[in-house]
Amino acid sequence: MNEYAIHPLDASTWDAFARLAEKHNGMGFGGCWCTWFHSREGRPEGEMGRPWKERLVREGKAHAALVFDGDAAVAWCQYGSPEELTNIHHRKDYEANRTEELPDYRLTCIFVDRDWRRKGVAGVALRGALDLIANAGGGVVEGYPQDTQGKKISAKFLYNTTRSLYEQTGFTYLRPKGKNHCVMRRTVPPLVTSKFQATPPARHAQRSPKR
């Protein structure tokens, strides 16, 4: 069985992340380099894809748990504050039905190298993100997996994996969100000590319930 290591996405791991992204043509959403969910605030005009993602990473404005097999990054789980990750699928539906406060963190994308799929690596990435969040002080974490209702779906369409994986990782189902998606939450307690080192994303100044 492979022994994977978790490292945060930062300047030191950027090259490994870039190699994984290049292997998969910049990932989904038109080769977005995992920028689709980010806020557009402060983005230089015309800067998109790889240059924009690299800028965010080097400025500490993009966060993810990278799964390493040796020297190769084989998966990641993107996380960040709602201010950092403002764009989510079915956002209008989400806002119209939200009654609770915004979470401290969102999980918006889980991606696995095609050569490592169906080996449990998505779960490693998800748990790795939660460990990094715990190391940064913990908090309420929200995810938006696909609710497949038992149907088999190709891995390339599961940008945030399935409800069942989130349930196995301690998340609680809150409500549906748009077509075949749902909102799930769990609270992650802070870690006193950890082998992981991470810079926490900027927290939002105020969280208020939807009225």
Q: Which pLDDT score is estimated for 209?
A: 43
Q: Are 38 and 84 in contact (CB under 8 A)?
A: yes
pLDDT value at residue 166:
96
| pTM of the predicted protein model | 0.85
Q: What tens-digit pLDDT sequence spans the chain (211 residues)?
A: 468 999 999 999 999 999 999 999 887 666 789 898 998 888 787 777 899 999 999 999 999 999 999 999 999 999 999 999 999 989 999 999 999 999 999 999 999 999 999 899 999 999 999 999 999 999 999 999 988 766 655 444 456 789 999 999 999 999 999 888 999 999 999 987 545 444 445 444 444 444 4
Determine the pLDDT at residue 204.
Answer: 41
Return the closest-CA partner of residue 81 out of 98, 99, 103: 103
Distance CA 77, CA 124 (A): 9
Residue 195: exposure state from Cβ atoms within 10 A (0-12, 13-18, ≥19): exposed
Query: What is the rounded distance in angstroms from the CA atom of residue 142 to the CA atom of residue 46?
Result: 31
Residue 169 in tokens: 């990782």
DSSP annotation of 202: P
Closest CA to 68 of 124, 22, 114, 25: 124
Question: How would DSSP label each residue in 46-97?
Answer: T--HHHHHHHHHHTT--EEEEEEETTEEEEEEEEE-TTTS---TTHHHHHHH
